[in-house]
Amino acid sequence: MHVVLAGGSGFLGQVLQKKLLAAGDHVTILTRNAGEILKTNQLQAVEWLKEGACPEERLRHVDAFVNLAGESISGFRWTKQKKDQIIKSRMKTTEEIIRLIDTMESKPQVLINASAVGYYGMSDVDTFTEKSISNANDFLAETVQKWEEKAAEANRLGVRTVFARFGIILGRGGALPLMALPYKFGIGGNIGSGRQWVSWIHVEDAAQMIKFIIDTPTIEGPFNVTAPNPVRMEEFGKTIASVLRRPHWLPVPKIVLKFVLGEMSSMLVNGQPVIPGKALAQHYDYLYPDLKEALETSLLLSKITSS
User: How many domains does one find in the chain?
Assistant: 1
Instruction: Return the CATH number at 259.
Output: 3.40.50.720
Consecutive H or E run containing 4:
strand 2-6
* Per-residue CA distances from 39 to 21, 35, 89 (Å): 12, 9, 26
Q: Are 48 and 103 in contact (CB under 8 A)?
A: no
pLDDT per residue, tens digit, the chain (307 aa), is 999 999 999 999 999 999 999 999 999 999 998 888 888 999 999 999 999 999 999 998 999 999 999 999 987 789 999 999 999 999 999 999 999 999 999 999 999 999 999 999 999 999 999 999 999 999 999 999 999 999 999 999 999 999 999 999 999 888 888 888 898 899 999 999 999 999 999 999 999 999 999 999 999 999 999 999 999 999 999 999 999 989 999 999 999 988 888 998 898 899 999 999 999 999 999 999 999 999 999 834 444 444 4
**CA gap 185, 180 in Å, rounded:** 9
**CA gap 296, 303 in Å, rounded:** 11
* Per-residue CA distances from 172 to 15, 176, 200, 208, 296 (Å): 11, 7, 14, 17, 12
Q: Which domain holds residue 96?
A: 2-306
DSSP 3-state of 197 = strand
Please tell me the predicted confidence (pLDDT) of residue 151.
98
Q: Are 236 and 199 in contact (CB under 8 A)?
A: no
Q: What DSSP string runs through 58-92? A: T--S--EEEE-----S-SS---HHHHHHHHHHHHH
